[in-house]
Each structure stands twice: as structure tokens, then as C-alpha cells.
Chain A
Amino acid sequence: MKSKNFFEKILKSKGFKSIELDSIIESRYVLKRSGGNFRQYLFSFYDQNFKEWSLRSDLSISSVTKFIKDKVNGRTKWYYTGEAYRKSKIRSDSVIKKQTGFEIYASKNENKDDEEIVQTSIKILKKTNFKKAQLNIGNIEIFYALVNRLDMPIRWKERIQRHFSREIYLNKLLKKLSTNSDINFGVVEQDKKKAEKLRKKNPKQIFSGRSLKEILDRFDIKNYSDPRLNSNKKNVKIIRDYFKISCSIDKAPKILNKFFKKNNLNLIIGTDYFPIRKNNLKNIKVLFSTNIGRNVPYYSNMVFNMQVKIKGKKHTFISGGRYNFLIKNLGYKKNVPAVGAAIDLNLL
């Protein structure tokens, strides 16, 4: 096996600067991104001021907090190597994940930076002992555009988009949508009467952290403005069929546009959604897939992964994507577009 640090040379030659990440991070940053549910996977503790800290569970989050803390300006390219610590419900899983990450912050030309991250990944892969690989590319933005074109209530569109990264739960949601099983019509009629009484009260009055106005606004949208449509079954079928699309990358725009036309969605996708347009790159097969990047909640646009075979089993060696909203979500004053990838060092 070649030196494990060969990729550092590649990253340096591509202009990425080495940085050190903090080993511990304020838990609120992780919880802000992943929600309180994620707390069960954290190794966390309190300091003398009752501030909660945790061992870094995700290197990208640590990198973003460094970007915010250092008040970095302009386009920034950096890389880091380290360990992320996360509990797992699977006993055989290691709690330590060794990774090298490389990122470009504040992209001026997003397509160009996406391409650079993918091309750098390809270069790293070519220097390994893996003889063959499969590069899967997707784009979450296309999914968002598709959902926006569907004829369904806005809150359902938002819900479906929000849960792109939670595959099992999204399937449950789609089932609910197709069967209208989240509405209890008997209860709705009773609640409509109660709502009329509540309308006479002060709309600013707070009930369990929410104002009466917020409660009634949502109640009205849900029960008056968003009548269920018969087309929901059709919409669910369109979404499910979309997730089945997988093809060689050069055919992706044609196949997608055909799919959108067939379903009368008035949507056209150009080649600029894909950082690579060739099907084969010397032992690397390039595919477009609608069903990748579904395990990272902060990806927002282009996503990719590079799979290799070890003893006949497929493993993801490098994975990455664009996250244009993460930095603002973690407390920065404005949106900073960013794209990055991580190498799984455990496979080397």
C-alpha cells in the first residue's frame, strides 16, 4: 500500500491549505444542524459554566465553526485530517471515524468549484491501489425543483424537501400523503368549533411557546387553504419514479427532461447541473443517480460519491457535496456557498 499521506501532496498541489480543527465543539452547533435527536450519538459533557461541549462528531461541522470563528474572508480552500467521534446503535460499528476532508468556501463560480472538488477526488483515487471505481453524481436541487412543480400544498412540499436525507421517514411521509392518513376528519370538525372560540381571544396570547395567531394560522392553512387533492397519489408516484432514475452521466439531462415532459412538469435541466459529463474516466465509470447523498442533512445541491470494491463488497471511499446553507444555519451572518468532500481513511 502506498503512503497514506500521498493525497496531502495532491491537495497541496491543488492549492488547499492544511488546517487543524478543534477536538471539542460546543454541542449547540451540532444540535443546530442535526437537531436534539442527534444528542444520543454525541460524546458530550458540561464545563464549569454549564456550557455543553462534545467531541467533534462531524469534521465538516468543526470546519464550518472554524470558518465562522476565524472570520475568514473570500474564497478559501483548506483540508484537514482527523477523527470524528460518534456513538452508534450498531455494536460492531467503530465510534472513531478517520477522515480527511477538503473544502472550498465562498465559491464565486459554484459549477467550477464543484468540478474542482470532484476532479481532485478522482486524482486522489487514481493514486490509490484501487484499480476500478464507480463515480456516482446527483443533484438535490433537481429534486427540490421537481417537488416545487408538483400540484400539492406548500407545507407538504417543504416537508418532503426537508426529509430528503431521511429515506425511511420520507417513504412513510409519501405513504401518508397518498392515503390522506394524516388527517382525522372527525377531530378536524370538533377543532373547527374550538378554533372559532379561540379567535375571540388575544392573538398574541402564548400557548406552550406559540402565539394563538401562529396556531390559528397553521390550523387554517391545514384545514381550509390546503384541501387534499386527488392528484396526491399521482404526485407520490412521480417522486418514487424519480428516485429510480440512474443512468450514464452523459444521458442524464435527456432522460431527466423526458421524465419531466412525460409528467407535465414544465421543467428543463441543462448540463450545468453536472460537474462531469464523460461516462468513463480511465477505469472510473461515471453514473448519474437521483438516490445519493441521502444520509447527510446539510447537502443542498451537487452530491457525489466514489465507490470501490474491497473483497467483492462495495465501499464508499470518497463522498461529498455542496452545502450552501450550512454556514448561515450555524450562526454566520450571511449565506456562504461551500462544497467539500471527505476521504474514508479506514479503507486505505
Chain B
Amino acid sequence: MKKDIINIAIVNKGRLKIRSENVFKKAKLKILTKSDRSLVASIKGYPSIRVMYMNATEIVEALGTGVCDIGISGKDLWRESEASIQSKIFLIKQYEWGNSDLVVAVSTSWLDCVNPTDLEEISFEFFNKKKRLMRCATKFKNLTNEWMSSRGITQYDLVTSLGATENSVEISKADFITDLSSSGETLRQNNLKVIDDGVILKSSACLFVAKNSMKKKEVKKIIKLFT
């Protein structure tokens, strides 16, 4: 990586890509791409800026490892990242788009489970009667662990989910889940309900900067344009 190049990472597809590109438009920065599929672009009039299109999780990693200087990604992914990555990134601005909540959801048939205290008690039911730990499917292990710990829930095991977490309960892969939810419709369709006090994190798209890049004049200038 050349020192004089400022790398800005944005999401490479979907609605987040469009919304991220709008941030550039608002800042009067025109993105120049060779083709629709090109994953690297430049900014008109700013030869020292490079725009990199990446997966949202990779953006957080890239900021933490110094691959890029500025990035737009989800708050959830930043908070979920390892402490060694998270501590190297500053959150500059939280946008009002890309909203979703990371929630704790249980089967709608679990009528007796309405809050974390119930979940804690049920975890002991699994431990004492079924001689196993209650299983939670999630893509967000760190945030889930943190929430469970703060609610006194210890008797559980996490099951890694890479996608379609909502069906984990239906297919008996897990006993409950934590997952992102925007409207709650997918949860409802899969017979799941969010428990009271079950919002682990309110997430949305955010503008991040790598701590080490904060000293660069060019970076400060771009941040000013974006905010």
C-alpha cells in the first residue's frame, strides 16, 4: 500500500452500496469506475483517493489491519469484531440507514419465556433435566456472549450460523437464536418471537476511520466532507 493513497472502503453490493455511494454524492465526490463489476474506483479530481468495494465484514477487518483508512460498514460488524480490531477503529458518524436490531428470539410456543430471566431459568431446565446446554444459533458470538453474561445466563452453548439463522430452531439445530431483524417479519414467518429486553444492539450503517489514519491530513479533509 502506497502511503500517499487514501483508501476508502464501501460495501460492494445491495442497498448499502447505493446508500454508501450517495454519501459520496452528498460530499460532491464523483466516483469513477471502469465498469459496473470493477471493485476499485477513483474520485474525480482526487488522484490520491482510492475507493475499494468490499464485503461489509471485510471492511471492518481492513480498517483494523490498516488496509484502508476510511470505511462505511455496519455498527453490528464493528462491535462484533475482535477487541484487537475494534480498538483500532473510530466510529465517526452513525447514519440513519441500514438499520437493524440484533435480537434474542425464541419459539412462539415457548409461552413461558418472555424475558432474559425466563431464559436463564430455562437454561437450567436444559442443564438439569436434559443434561445438556441450551443451544443458541448466531452469527454474532461475541455480542451474544456479552449480552448473555450481562443477563446472568451462563448455561448455554453457541452454534455458529453462517446464514438463514431463523430456521435453526425449526430444524433443531438450536433452541433459540440471536440474529439481525429489521421489521421482524422473517422471525414471525419462522415462528419466533423477540423476548422483552432482547435487543442486544441497535445497528445502522456507520462511517469509520482507522485510528492510525487519523493523523493524515487528507483523511481529516475527507471526513470533514463526509460529515
Residue of B nearest to A28 (CB): B133
New A-B pairs, 19, CB < 8 Å, besides A39-B145, A215-B110, A216-B111? A35-B155, A36-B155, A37-B148, A37-B149, A38-B154, A39-B158, A40-B145, A155-B121, A170-B152, A172-B152, A184-B196, A191-B111, A191-B114, A207-B109, A208-B175, A209-B172, A212-B109, A214-B129, A222-B112
Q: Is the CB of B151 within 8 A of A169?
A: yes
Q: Does B120 contact A (CB under 8 A)?
A: yes
Residues of B within 8 A of A (CB): 106-107, 109-112, 114-115, 117-118, 120-126, 129-130, 133-135, 142, 145, 148-158, 169, 172, 175-176, 196
Cβ < 8 Å to B, chain A residues 172-219: 172-173, 176, 182, 184, 187-188, 191, 194-195, 198, 207-210, 212, 214-216, 218-219
A187 to B193, CA, bound (A): 12
Q: Is the CB of B157 within 8 A of A31?
A: yes
Q: Is the CB of A184 within 8 A of B145?
A: no
Q: Which of A18-26, A158-166, A278-286 contacts the other chain?
A: A158-166
- When distances are taken between beta carbons in the complex, the residues of chain B under 8 Å from A212 are 109
B184 to chain A: closest CB distance in Å? 15
Partner of A36, one of B107, B110, B156: B156
Q: Is the CB of A159 within 8 A of B172?
A: no
Partner of B110, one of A40, A182, A207: A207
- When distances are taken between beta carbons in the complex, the residues of chain A under 8 Å from B109 are 198, 207-208, 212, 215
Number of A-B residue pairs, CB cutoff 8 Å, is 95
- When distances are taken between beta carbons in the complex, the residues of chain B under 8 Å from A210 are 110, 122, 125, 175
Q: Does A111 contact B (CB under 8 A)?
A: no
Q: Is the CB of B175 within 8 A of A184?
A: no
A39 to B150, CA, bound (A): 15
A39 to B124, CA, bound (A): 17
Main secondary structure of the interface of B (DSSP, over half): mixed
Residues of A within 8 A of B (CB): 31, 34-40, 155, 159, 162-163, 166, 169-170, 172-173, 176, 182, 184, 187-188, 191, 194-195, 198, 207-210, 212, 214-216, 218-219, 222
- When distances are taken between beta carbons in the complex, the residues of chain A under 8 Å from B107 are 207-208
- When distances are taken between beta carbons in the complex, the residues of chain B under 8 Å from A198 are 109, 111
Q: Is the CB of A34 within 8 A of B154?
A: yes
Kindly name the residue among A36, A162, A215, A222 whose own CB sees the greatest number of chain B CB atoms within 10 A: A36
| Known A198-B109, A208-B175: A218·B152 in contact at CB below 8 Å | no
- When distances are taken between beta carbons in the complex, the residues of chain A under 8 Å from B172 are 208-209
- When distances are taken between beta carbons in the complex, the residues of chain A under 8 Å from B111 are 191, 194-195, 198, 215-216, 219
Q: Identify 22 residue pairs between A and B in the complex whose beta-carbon atoms are under 8 Å apart, listed by A's number.
A: A31-B133, A35-B123, A35-B155, A36-B157, A37-B154, A39-B157, A159-B117, A166-B152, A169-B152, A170-B152, A173-B152, A187-B196, A188-B114, A208-B107, A208-B176, A209-B134, A209-B135, A210-B110, A210-B122, A210-B175, A215-B109, A218-B112
Q: Is the CB of A36 within 8 A of B169?
A: no
A287 to B123, CA, bound (A): 37
B115 to chain A: closest CB distance in Å? 5
Q: Is the CB of A36 within 8 A of B112?
A: no
Q: Is the CB of A159 within 8 A of B154?
A: no
Q: Is the CB of A209 within 8 A of B130?
A: yes
Partner of A162, one of B124, B129, B151: B124
A222 to B110, CA, bound (A): 13
A247 to B118, CA, bound (A): 37
Q: Is the CB of B125 within 8 A of A218?
A: yes
- When distances are taken between beta carbons in the complex, the residues of chain B under 8 Å from A208 are 106-107, 109-110, 169, 172, 175-176
- When distances are taken between beta carbons in the complex, the residues of chain B under 8 Å from A219 are 111-112
Q: Is the CB of A37 within 8 A of B110?
A: no
- When distances are taken between beta carbons in the complex, the residues of chain A under 8 Å from B114 are 184, 187-188, 191
Q: Is the CB of A209 within 8 A of B145?
A: no
Residue of B nearest to A195 (CB): B111
Residue of B nearest to A169 (CB): B152
Q: Is the CB of A182 within 8 A of B117?
A: yes
